[in-house]
Structure 1
Amino acid sequence: MIDFLSKVPLFSNLNNDQLTSISNICSKKSFRSGTILFHEKELGSVFYIVFNGSVKIYTKATTGEEKILSLFKSGDSFGELSLIDGKPRSASAQTLEDSVLIALDAKHFLELLKNNFDISLCIMRELCNRLRDTNQHVYDLTFLDARTRVIKSLIKLANKNGIRNGTIITIKMMLNYDEVSQMAGVQKPILMQVIRDFQEKEILMFDGPAMKLDLAKLRG
């Protein structure tokens, strides 16, 4: 646990004694794929770090339509906002595959922030990054056409979840096409048209459950 925590960006500046203290107040929990970790508008009581697997953060409209806000993988943390301001969860969280998460309850999380300025600063930076991402997404929905939004979403998936080998990025497809279209803010037929176009130009290739994106051909 300590070796893993030392590699988590949130705790990277801490010494072994501090990491040991954190390890002592954390618990590791396993969740099956599709497990709802918390719902939007419920009170928050747990802060999570992804040990392995992946999690999506999303909101749902009254019509039932989902909008994916973020994807988290190993080393990423989430669930802090509700614990900090005491207000209900601003979004829901669900595992995309069988996952193991490190959980920290609200009391210990707030004590951790109080006693470790480095962690508090990292949390503030992460919240700032998410606000910037939100602002950028609003800009994209306002000013970019649907095709460009799809391309940008595929690149974002590649950058965050892909493994690069030269100009080829291999992405393990944790999302289905409906979820990718929700993330891009486009209708599914538009997403499928872009994917077919990319396949014809050999920009995008599928290898079983994985997707390969050729950056050289994309830029060309």
Structure 2
Amino acid sequence: MMIDFLRKVPLFASLTNPQLSIISNICTRKSFKAHTILFQEKEPGSVFYIVYSGSVKIYTAATSGEEKILSLFKSGDSFGELSLIDGKPRSASAQTLEDSTMIVLNAPNFLDLLKSNFDISLCIMRELSNRLRDTNQHVHDLTFLDARSRVIKSLIKLANKNGIRTGNIVTIKMMLNYDEVSQMAGVQKPILMQVIRDFQERQILTFLGSEMKLDLAKLRG
């Protein structure tokens, strides 16, 4: 049931069953193929998304075509609310990384929901505050961390958000290619590859098919 899934979404974790029922009644489920662009930067915003299954990257693109990945979202994560709230165009683009299913709310329903339910509005405000803090931290990292440190921090971030931990080993499904990981870390690809080769030699990182295993004990050593 939709309400059972919504109950597990961190954004709505503090809501009551009646409040979750309200959300469930106004949202729909849609499926998208891998690499589908859900919306593009500077487009008008019309939909709020919650990832039901699969994964999505949020990114911006320079006039040269080079991308900068801002965030990765997986099941339970939500995005797309900012332009619905302020009425301005999308600040970034969104694309599925694999076959994915989204829970969607259109703009009128989303805004009516915020107007009539303070608790839900507060949840959205908290989520936006968390993302602002993440952005501030990213700016700090780009300013004060060297390239190698940024790569390591990005790998740890991938592990924390998308990995499955067993003891000291975190298994991460590699949804991004090396170009995308380097963009996310804010480094040139050769630097990323240098760090990865070093980690492989020290057995901190191992690759098995489409999965990457990160040994936290050896990383700390």
Task: Give the TM-score band, short-chain normalised.
Answer: over 0.9
Q: Deviations over 1:103-150 (max 9, x none)?
A: 000011011111222211111111111111111111111111111100
| Alpha-carbon distance in structure 1 between the residues aligned to 2:150 and 2:202 | 19
Match of 1:34 in 2: 35
Match of 2:175 in 1: 174
Q: Deviations over 1:37-93 (max 9, x none)?
A: 000001000000000000000000011000000000000000000000000000000
Tell me the secondary structure at the aligned position of residue 171 of structure 2.
strand
Task: Report the alpha carbon displacement of residue 23 of structure 1 after superposing the two structures with TM.
Answer: 1.2
Q: Deviations over 1:148-191 (max 9, x none)?
A: 10000000000000000011100000000000000001111110
Correspondence 1:41-120 to 2 at 5 A:
41-120=42-121
Match of 2:9 in 1: 8
| Alpha-carbon distance in structure 2 between the residues aligned to 1:103 and 1:37 | 11
CA RMSD of aligned residues (A): 0.8
| Alpha-carbon distance in structure 1 between the residues aligned to 2:88 and 2:109 | 18
| Alpha-carbon distance in structure 1 between the residues aligned to 2:165 and 2:59 | 27
**Number of residue pairs aligned between Structure 1 and Structure 2:** 220
Q: Which amino acid aligns with 1:144?
A: L
Aligned pair 1:121/2:130, yes or no?
no
Task: Report the alpha carbon displacement of residue 36 of structure 1 after superposing the two structures with TM.
Answer: 0.2
Q: Percent identity?
A: 83
Q: What's the TM-score, normalizing by structure 2?
A: 0.98
| Alpha-carbon distance in structure 2 between the residues aligned to 1:7 and 1:56 | 21
Tell me the secondary structure at the aligned position of residue 126 of structure 1.
helix
Q: Which amino acid aligns with 1:45?
A: S
Match of 2:208 in 1: 207
Match of 2:199 in 1: 198
Task: Report the alpha carbon displacement of residue 21 of structure 1 after superposing the two structures with TM.
Answer: 2.0
Most deviating of 103-112 and 11-20: 11-20
| Alpha-carbon distance in structure 1 between the residues aligned to 2:13 and 2:190 | 43
Task: Report the alpha carbon displacement of residue 18 of structure 1 after superposing the two structures with TM.
Answer: 2.3
Match of 2:131 in 1: 130
Q: Which amino acid aligns with 1:77?
A: S
Match of 1:23 in 2: 24
Tell me the secondary structure at the aligned position of residue 152 of structure 2.
helix
| Alpha-carbon distance in structure 1 between the residues aligned to 2:70 and 2:220 | 26
Unaligned runs of 5+ in 2: none
Task: Report the alpha carbon displacement of residue 10 of structure 1 after superposing the two structures with TM.
Answer: 1.9
Q: Which amino acid aligns with 1:156?
A: K
Q: Which amino acid aligns with 1:22?
A: I
Tell me the secondary structure at the aligned position of residue 47 of structure 1.
strand
Task: Report the alpha carbon displacement of residue 14 of structure 1 after superposing the two structures with TM.
Answer: 2.4
Task: Report the alpha carbon displacement of residue 15 of structure 1 after superposing the two structures with TM.
Answer: 2.5
Q: Which amino acid aligns with 1:17?
A: P
